[in-house]
Structure 1
Amino acid sequence: MKTLVWVEHDNKTVKDATLAAVTAAGKLGEVHLLVAGSGCAAVADEAAKIAGVGKVHLADDAAFEHALAENVAPLVVDLMGHHDAFICPATTTGKNIAPRVAALLDVMQISDILSVEDGDKTFTRPIYAGNAIATVTSSDPKLVITVRGTAFDKAETSGGSGTVEAVASTGDAGLSTFVSSEIAKSERPELTSAKIIVSGGRALKDAETFQEVIIPLADKLNAGVGASRAAVDAGYVPNDYQVGQTGKIVAPEAYFAIGISGAIQHLAGMKDSKVIIAINKDEDAPIFQVADIGLVGDLFKIVPELTEKL
């Protein structure tokens, strides 16, 4: 089976989310990558070095500069004549492209897979916010799949010897136009790649208190900063801090859940963390059911004390 993997990038470098998708694709058979962008030849060269990659298809055109799904999907469909499966990382961009590809191919999409089971058309995926795992077998002639990045190891970024092959652009479909983007910039590790994450919940009271309590601890640990949906909705922090089913799915080495009750929505985004440390004054909070270490008490006393002793 030949699998085509969408390479997530910024026209300069390959993003980490791609590496887990490559690992998943390797379980299906031969791995080919698609680099579509503008002035992105360096990305294709970098992608060719990823372990396990056989070929990199390079589509360099201004129409692909911002990865608009309306422009990328026809290109993917064009290449699917020579591939059996199309895989995207389950990121914002991947989740935008994959459904349109599936619709154009008239096949179902298999979303957020956690594993590849016996054979090459059977997968597991989470349902009910991860409280149940479904085993899915497809009978479609072509597969369209998104991959949960925390469920697969990242492919090595070196050691590969893939060849780069230019492919014809399908051009601008004329269905959408890129207007602008506002991208949050931070010196902290990005949430989906951070080894340690410190998250705060609604109990932090307001944005100022969130900064006073959470940020010093995160600084000491060189950690990423996350938040529950309740904290984001209350305006404590920006949307890109949100961890959960409708936010980012993370699996760091250590996850600090501070003042977070542990609603299903939040647990779906972080329960695969290696070690979960919960701090909450409510000893019956659901977060303690998944926590490896639980501290029951006043976070406004515990967290500053913990920060001071680090």
Structure 2
Amino acid sequence: MVNVGIIGQGFIGKMHLAVLRKSKLATVVAVADKNPTNLKDEAATGNIAIEGDISLDGVSKYEEGDALLKDAHVEAVLITLPTFLHKEYILKSIAAGKHVLCEKPLVLSKADGLEVLDALKGYDRVFMAAQCIRFWPVYVKAREIIQSQEYGALLAAHLTRQSGKPSWSFGGWLLDETKSGGAALDLHVHDVDFVNYLLGEPDRIQATGVDLPGEGVSQINALYTYNNGPVASMDGGWLHGPTFPFRMGFRMELEKAALEFNSMMDGALHVYTEAGEHLTPELLPGDGYSREHDYFLSCVEEGKPANEATAESAIASVALVEREREAVRS
């Protein structure tokens, strides 16, 4: 069992706490948050429901992340702070010699990412970006099918991610582009990262969107073109009212089949083949959060690098979002 400390107990921190409580590989021994309300056994508001045990009985509670990093019982740190604090606490966690799992987006900018990469040179602990879609069973299966070439090459893909406006964030930080990067970086980066994971860096990026003063790009439609390869389009945003239900999904056209997933429908992967079949292949158990946790924790226990979600790849995804924003604003 790995002793884990969580820095940040807002909505996503509570989500990780509830999921980690179900893991057989970890014990949450400490949490930290500057907001005293977040150190109570109360769920935080967000765009998806938190299910599970979020009690803090027997858990060390700190008002400062720095104090948690000094706790000798903490072997691994999960950073779930607002994005503008990620770089600071990544660097502090590295200096403290902890294994690190940091929420997406890893950093606010590629420039910040280069500072992180410099600090990681020669680091002998596990460092991983919490890009949960890389571990989400339906996305894992889609990638597996595409890579197998069972239905031929991928021709086109469209990914979507939409949410109500995140008015729940502490002090409204999510709606401040200087702190969150806006919807383009906080929300849409999930799909950018998956496309990057699946296909690599595109040869050409086109994008349009809605750029709001202060909030940044709050709705984005992007098109990635690969020379002699597929095209990938993505849309993401949070222009909707607070009761708008979160949804994510994709449609992918291969030479001999189409793949479809819609979280508002049934959560299954639907495969429609050229031969007229409608298949729903079995998916791995759990969700992206539990599976990324178990992967990270197994890397810690086995002393191996977290190659499925490296800092380099996460920073490359941030750089792609930066290119999209430039296209929107050009």
Question: Aligning the two structures, in what range does the TM-score lie when normalised by the shorter sequence?
Answer: 0.3 to 0.5
Relative contact order, higher structure (CA 8 A, sep 6+): 2
Structure with bigger gyration radius: 1
TM-score of the superposed pair, with normalisation by structure 2 = 0.33
TM-score of the superposed pair, with normalisation by structure 1 = 0.35
